[in-house]
Each structure stands twice: as C-alpha cells, then as structure tokens.
C-alpha cells in the first residue's frame, strides 16, 4: 500500500513543484501584452526560470525533461516577441519587424532545444495522425459557419475593428490578407508547438492547456482582440490545443486557424468598407 501511494503521489508532487515557476513564466504574457509593463514581464520570466532552477537543483535525471530548460525556451520566445509593439500596421517596416520578431520567437527556441540542449523538445509534426477523419472535415465547416455568425457582430458592435488599419485599396487589402494569415500560422507554431508542447512535458493536458491559453490570449489582446474578445479567444486557444493533442497534426490546426482568420480578414475589410460585403455578412 505504501509503495502504491508513493507511486500515485509522486507525479502530483512534480506537478506541484512545477506549477509556481510555470505560472510565473506564463503570467509574464499579460504583463507584456496586456498591461504593457516590459520590466514586470522580464522580472516574471527571470523569477519563473530561476525558481525552476532552484527547485530542480540536484533532482534532474537523464530520463526526465528539465523544467528549467523548457521554461527557458518559452521565456526566450516570449522575450523576443516583447521587443516589438504588436499594434497592427501594414507598412513595410512594421511588417519586417513582425517577421523578424515572430520568426525569431519560434526559430531561436527551436535552435536552442535542438543544438544546445540537444533534446529536440520542439517539433512541428505537419501531418500527424495521417488522413483527416470525418469529424475533422466537419469541424472545418463549423469553423467557417461560426466565424461568419459571430465575428462580424464582435468586431463591428464592439468597435475593435478600429484596432486594425483602414484597408481601402487593393494593396492594403492584400497586405492585410498576408499579415492575418502569417500571424495565424505563427500562433500555432509558437503557442501550440512550442509553449503547449513544452508545458505538456511536465503537466497533465488540462493544466498545460490552461497555462498556454494565458500566453495565447494575452498576445491576441495586444494584437487587437480586446473588449469582450477573450470570450472568443479563450475557447479558441483551448480548443486548438485539444485538437492538436487529439490529431497530432500541425497541418490540421493551421488549417483550422487559417479558415477562421480568412473570416477575420473578410470581416475587417467589410467593417472598413461599408457596403462592399453586405451581401455576405448580416451585421
């Protein structure tokens, strides 16, 4: 009985030890992207990684993943993102800044994991579980319908569409289309394949999902999904991680995200150009 109890409680003790440092690191996201307090964000990252190091000292084994290393990868990516403003702009310089910062937030942790830590903790399984099942095709249709029904009401009645620049020319519309799609792909590379996957090495799925959602939703807040946006973005962040956990397919979650963002793009064009897409949207 004692042996069984110890075997059952040991994982819970590991999760309890990991909870504080992981929470500190993830809370850096609202500090950076909601409160816009970079010093507080940096302090939380340092406190989280430092706490993990202290708690793990002398306990790390070759067979178990290192919480300190994994949180340092998340912290590194988040710190890189925090070097730019996430205000949506469509000029050349702003789009270059987004490309370098967001690209670096994925590429640098991946490189550190693979060539410095040599643990290949970050992977990008494009096809995952193979051919898509019927429910996956059904969910793609549902995403379009739900986006069509909900997003115009959200963006227009709340006025948050003004957080994105006016797009009133073919060039600006094309830039918006590229920008929305590129950020959507990046969301899955960073929040799911980096943050969620790294946290999943130390927590049950539900806990890892809740922690990654803090980071995901905070980023989307600064990007422009404000007012009552979290009512939409929190379920979306949680569902994307659950779908990835079930399908193991980056390709599928990216497809879901791009379909959703295609509706976002159309709604933004509609909101900034009254009358242009009235035949499609009800609001």
* pLDDT (tens digit per residue) in 74-130: 999 999 999 999 999 999 999 999 999 999 999 999 999 999 999 989 999 998 778
> What is residue 62's predicted lDDT score, i.e. its pLDDT?
63
- Has residue 283 been placed in a domain? no
pLDDT in tens, 147-159: 999 999 999 999 9
Would you say residue 10 has pLDDT above 90?
A: no
- Has residue 154 been placed in a domain? yes
- Has residue 168 been placed in a domain? yes
- Has residue 126 been placed in a domain? yes
Average pLDDT, the chain: 93
> What is residue 14's predicted lDDT score, i.e. its pLDDT?
73
pLDDT in tens, 237-269: 999 999 999 999 999 999 999 999 999 999 999
Would you say residue 9 has pLDDT above 50?
A: no
Q: What is the mean pLDDT of residues 21-48?
A: 98
- Has residue 277 been placed in a domain? no
Q: What is the number of structural domains in the chain?
A: 1
Higher-confidence position of 59 and 17: 17
- Please indicate, yes or no, whether the overall pTM of this predicted structure exceeds 0.75: yes
pLDDT in tens, 54-81: 999 866 666 689 999 999 999 999 999 9
> What is residue 112's predicted lDDT score, i.e. its pLDDT?
98
- Has residue 279 been placed in a domain? no
Q: Which two tokens stand for residue 128?
A: 């995952």
Q: pLDDT tier at 11 (50, 70, 90 boundaries)?
A: low
pLDDT in tens, 195-243: 999 999 999 999 999 999 999 999 999 999 999 999 999 999 999 999 9
Structural domain span for residue 155: 2-272
- Has residue 281 been placed in a domain? no
- Has residue 171 been placed in a domain? yes
């Amino acid at each position: 009985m004692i042996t069984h109890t110890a075997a059952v409680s040991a994982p819970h003790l590991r999760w309890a030890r990991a909870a504080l440092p992981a929470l500190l690191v993830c809370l850096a996201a609202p500090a950076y992207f909601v409160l816009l307090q970079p010093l507080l964000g940096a302090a939380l990252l340092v406190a989280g990684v430092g706490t993990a190091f202290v708690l793990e000292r002398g306990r790390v084994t070759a067979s178990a993943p290192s919480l300190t290393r994994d949180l340092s990868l998340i912290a590194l990516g988040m710190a890189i993102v925090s070097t730019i403003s996430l205000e949506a702009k469509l000029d050349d310089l702003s789009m270059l800044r987004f490309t370098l910062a967001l690209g670096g937030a994925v590429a640098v942790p991946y490189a550190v994991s693979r060539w410095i830590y040599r643990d290949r903790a970050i992977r990008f399984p494009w096809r995952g579980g193979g051919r898509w099942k019927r429910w996956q095709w059904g969910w793609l249709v549902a995403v379009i319908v739900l986006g069509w029904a909900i997003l115009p009401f959200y963006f227009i009645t709340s006025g948050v569409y003004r957080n994105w620049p006016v797009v009133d020319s073919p060039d600006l519309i094309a830039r918006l289309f590229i920008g929305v799609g590129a950020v959507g792909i990046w969301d899955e590379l960073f929040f799911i394949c980096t943050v969620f996957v790294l946290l999943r090495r130390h927590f049950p799925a539900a806990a890892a999902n809740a922690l990654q959602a803090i980071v995901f939703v905070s980023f989307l807040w600064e990007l422009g999904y404000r007012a009552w946006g979290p009512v939409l973005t929190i379920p979306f962040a949680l569902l994307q991680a659950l779908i990835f956990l079930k399908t193991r397919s980056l390709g599928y979650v990216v497809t879901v995200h791009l379909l959703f963002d295609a509706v976002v793009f159309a709604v933004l064009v509609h909101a900034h150009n009254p009358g242009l897409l009235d035949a499609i949207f009800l609001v």
